[in-house]
Each structure stands twice: as structure tokens, then as C-alpha cells.
Chain A
Amino acid sequence: MPDLSDVKHKLGLGDDGLAGLGHNIITAPIEELVKWARRRSLMPATFGLACCAIEMMATGTAHYDMARYGMETFRASPRQADLMIVAGRVSQKMAPVLRQIYDQMMEPKWVISMGVCASSGGMFNNYAIVQGVDQVVPVDIYAPGCPPGPETLLHAILALHEKIRTGELTQRRDETGRGAEIELGHEAAMDAQPEPVIIRTGGLYD
């Protein structure tokens, strides 16, 4: 029996379910329309925690103006938002709250980790700060900086737009943030020794 799976896939007849529909000529324009609408009207949820929140607010105001991307309406309620910009350091006490807000958002949703504290713990490698918000929620875009200037945040937003434009329409992500997949309880952190870290490849979608 010849292996026809890649032929079928190219013809849009594979086992991808709904995702496979995007590859044929009838639904492609619709899919493009949906993705265009999604990325041109992202609504961020207010999740400003610390200094990065000030720069996030600066990005939303007149000088840098997120409104030209349709994003100036920060929704206070996570039910109405589809983008969570985690702006600032996440402390141990705040991490459950972060997860709860993320869970309350409806699909499709994206997360931008703004600043080094959200991306990796930043300059605070200590007992109090979660070392990277991707330990808690899955992150799409990391924006470095301490704090990232508004231009950097806009670049991150545009990178997210690109990701939405080229990504799958019905993405299904791992439900938990995997971070670097280091499991550390509080006690273990207290006597952690420096160790070589094995670098593995691993993306968000495998």
C-alpha cells in the first residue's frame, strides 16, 4: 500500500480535522479573514504588575499609540480579553492569581511575557519571584528589556501579529506552561547547586 498520507495532506484531506480545512481554496480566504480580524483587534487584559506596567501604559498612550493596531482598549475582565501581556515580576503569591486569570480567558488567547522578570525572573533570582512566567502559563512572545521600551513592546506585538497571521487557525496548546521543565519545590531551591543545564529543543506545539 503506497504511503499517500502526505499527498492527502497537501490536498487538504488529511487527518488534521478542522485544521486541515485551511489548506484548500474554498476556506482559505475565510481563514485569512478570521486571522486578520483576530490580529487587528487584540484586546489586552490588564495584567500590569510592576515597572513594565508603566511602559505598557506608555505604549498605550499618545506617543507610541497602540490604538493604531486596534489594541488601546485594555479589558479589565479577562472574559473579554484575548491577549495577556504579563508586564512585571510575578511573585510566588501572585502566581496562582496569574493562572486563574489566564484560565478565565477564552480561546483563542495569547500571552506576551513582557520584560525580563516575566520571561526568566530577571535580575531577581531568589525565593520570591517565579523564574519566568512560562512556568505558569504558556507564552507566545517574550519581550526582553528592563523595562522594555515601548518600541520593544510594539515589536513584540507585531511579532505576535505575524505569528497569528502565519499560524494555525485552531491552535491547541499545552494547557500548562512548561517553562524550562525544571521542577523545583521550595526546599530543593534552598540548596540548589549550580549544574550544567542540558539544552534541548522543544517548542510550544509539540
Chain B
Amino acid sequence: MSEAEAEERASVVDPDDERMIINMGPQHPSTHGVLRVTMELQGETVLRSKPVIGYLHTGMEKTAEDLTYLQGPTNVTRMDYASPLFTELTFSLAVEALLEIEIPDRATWIRMLMCELNRMSSHLLFLATNGMDLGAVGMMIYGWREREEVLRFFEKVTGLRMNHNYIRPGGVAADLPDGWREDVQSILKVLPERLEQFDVLMTGQPIWRERTQGIGVITTEEALALGATGPILRSTGYAWDLRRAMPYLAYDEVDFDIVVGTYGDTFDRYAIRLNEIRESMRIVEQCLELIPEGPYRAEDRKVTPPPRARIDESMEALIHHFKIFTEGFKVPPGEVYTAVESPRGELGCYLVSDGGPKPQRMHIRAPSFVNLQTLPHMMHGGLLADAIAVISSIDPIMGEVDR
């Protein structure tokens, strides 16, 4: 046809014809759980998108009102199942703030050691799934191989590979077992060169860079306006880390750097998490040296159960054990909000007590829930393939998104 005819035809065809609304999920192979994203595509370009969540809503906040404070960590630990110790930690810190008890130094340092190891295992999970989503399928195997090292240590200390219920109000559930130093040192010996392998596989590789640089860009103002914290905020160049800004546990006594990006894109978020593993290893090394001796939980028998051996000897110990495990210890009325820096951002616990053994209201401020609001913004204008990269780089854990 002639040029004039073609032009006329183009003006008659509705440009909106190219738009379609497609649905991605809730069951899809991108291994981030049950996230559903509805997207409006123009050809291959994503215009608008909306994450639809709620497919894993478990009613955990309602369940928490029915569990005692000692049982609480079993519930909250299953929210962020990639880094469960952090949710246990924030819940325990909230309860201890309401109880106004001090926990021993050794308990604090054990908590810090376990949390940093958990940060490492969570970031390794991120590297594995991020790699696989973007095509480096071998990364899945490598990341999990490393993660197994850390999980083996967790199983030795806490008894479980995941969802440990180890950090409880008053301290930790059990002391570190004999030989733990050798185990941690073997992890620290093996990991650095494997991280170098990841650098070779991904960081310097042109295909990886093409797929991640400039994708899913967000600025500091946008991130702060949407409440995004953690690696997303740090990738924009803003060095906000609760471990430095509002230290908890013993983070003001150890030396570590905050890893910050420049462009706010997917590559920055990947690199930040990779380097945060290295920073966590530094903290773990310092924990190995600086951890003090002492009790591993507060000695207040009304809060922490007595050692099992004592139950045979002492009547009070038996009564305390019984009261704590059946009725639960009572927490004075009050409210508190505590926050820790989880691998995904600010993980907070707002706890209201009515003086009884069960919470009046427990709310967990889940970082992934808030971070997911950046998704439409980051996906806008990108290609569909980039949408996968963006979802993966936010690293959402749907258990804590939906609770």
C-alpha cells in the first residue's frame, strides 16, 4: 500500500490495541512464593503493575493473641522463613522491653552471632534464587551448597535447620555446644573463596550486567516515601542501617561497614547483598573473639524456665517450670515498638500487653510487605523479563508479607 494509505491506517488503528493485562502467579516458578502480579503490557513493556498478595495469609497476628510469650517465637519465626532468627529477635526484644529485664552479655553475643550467620544464609538464598531467576541456574546449586554449611551449624546449636525458636524472651534457648568455634571457623574458611566464585560467575560477567544494570531503578526520595528499607534503600546510596543508626544487641561494639550502592538498580542490590555476606563474616569473626562467658539467659526464674536438672531437686523450680509452660509468665501492661535490621530491611514488632500471659496485640512490621510497594514503580517502563529481575531483587518473603 502507499505511504498515505499506511498512515491513514495507522491513525485508524487504536494504539491501545497493543495493551493487554496479564497475570503472573500466584503459582509461578520464580520461587518467591505466592506472589501474584497483574501487569498491563504494551507489547513487551510493562506499564502498570499491581502486586496482589494475601495468598499466604496465615492469621499469625491473631494466633499470637492466643499463645503465651514463650510460645510467641514459634509463631513469629514462621513469618520470615528465610531469616527466622530475626523475627524471633525482634519479638524477644519487645517482650524484654516490656518486662524491663536485662539479659546477660553472653546471651546478647550469642544472639548477634546467630543473627549474622542467619543474615549470611538468607543472602545466600537470595543469591541462589536471584541467579536462577536470571538464568544462572547453576547458582541455585552453589548458593544452597553454601547455605547447607550454615544450616548444619544451626542444626547443631538450635536443633532445627529452619524456624528455630531459639531466641526467646530472656535470652536464648540453649548455650552454644562444645566445638562451636571450630564449626564457625570452618564456615568462615570455606566461604570467602566461594564468594569469589560467585563474583566470577555473576558480578563481572557481561550477560549478568546487561540484565541487571539500569533495571528497576529507584531513587532515595522514592524509597523513603514508600517506606522501603534495607538493601533497597541502601542501593540508592543512602546509608541507613539500623545496626549503625539505632544499635541494638552489641552492634556498637563490633566493627563493620555498611554496604551502599550508587544507582539504585538491580545490580546494586545484588552486589550489596553479596558484600553484606562479607561484612557479616567480619562480625562473626569478631564475635568469636569477643564473646564473653556467662549465663545464656536471664536468671529470673519467673521468666525463663529453670534448668531441667533443678526440677528434680527443688520444688520452686518445678513450680516455676509448670507455671511458665502452662499459663505463661505475665508481662506488665504497656506497649513498645522494637526494630531490628533484617536482611530485608527494618523488621519491627509492636507489642501491647494487658498484664496477662498473652499479648493484647502483636503486630510485626514486615519489611517485605512495605518493600513490595516499590514493585510497580520499579517495573514501570521495563521489559517483562526485567520484571522478573525486579521481583527477585526485592527479595520478598511471602510469609512475612501476608503473615
Contacts and interface: CB of A to CB of B under 8 A. Distances in A.
**A–B direct contact (CB < 8 Å):** yes
Interface in B136-158: 140-141, 144-145, 147-148, 151
A55 B162 contact: yes
Interface string B9-45: 0000000000000000011110101100000000000
Contacts of A94: 26, 34, 55-56
A173 interface: no
A75 to B, nearest CB: 8
Given A62-B144, A91-B402, A147 B55 contact: no
Nearest to B149: A63
Contact of A123 (B75, B81, B148, B161): B75
Given A93-B57, A123-B74, A124-B63, A49 B145 contact: no
A39 interface: no
Interface string A77-97: 010000000001101111001
B259 interface: no
Interface residues of B, number: 36
Interface in A103-123: 123
B144 A57 contact: yes
B62 A127 contact: yes
Contacts, number: 102
A129 B78 contact: no
B124 to A, nearest CB: 11
Given A47-B27, A54-B81, A61 B144 contact: yes
A97 B55 contact: yes
Contact of B145 (A62, A78, A93): A62
A101 B58 contact: no
Residues of A in contact with B, size category = 20 to 34
B56 A147 contact: no
B81 to A, nearest CB: 4
Contact of B57 (A46, A57, A91, A147): A91
Nearest to A78: B27
B117 to A, nearest CB: 16
B158 to A, nearest CB: 13
Contact of B161 (A50, A55, A62, A89): A55
A97 B399 contact: no
A76 interface: yes
A146 interface: yes
A128 B57 contact: yes
A76 B31 CA distance: 10
A74 B144 CA distance: 16
Contacts of B60: 124
A63 B27 contact: no
Interface string A35-60: 00000000000111111011101100
Contacts of B63: 123-124, 126
Given A46-B29, A51-B163, A57-B140, 20 more contacts: A47-B27, A49-B55, A49-B398, A50-B398, A50-B399, A51-B162, A51-B399, A54-B125, A58-B144, A58-B161, A61-B144, A62-B145, A63-B148, A94-B26, A97-B26, A97-B27, A123-B63, A126-B62, A128-B62, A129-B58
Q: Nearest 6 pairs between A and B by C-beta? A: A76-B29, A128-B59, A51-B81, A61-B144, A94-B55, A126-B59
17 contacts: A49-B55, A49-B56, A54-B82, A55-B162, A58-B147, A61-B140, A62-B145, A74-B29, A88-B56, A91-B54, A91-B402, A94-B34, A101-B27, A123-B75, A124-B63, A128-B59, A146-B163
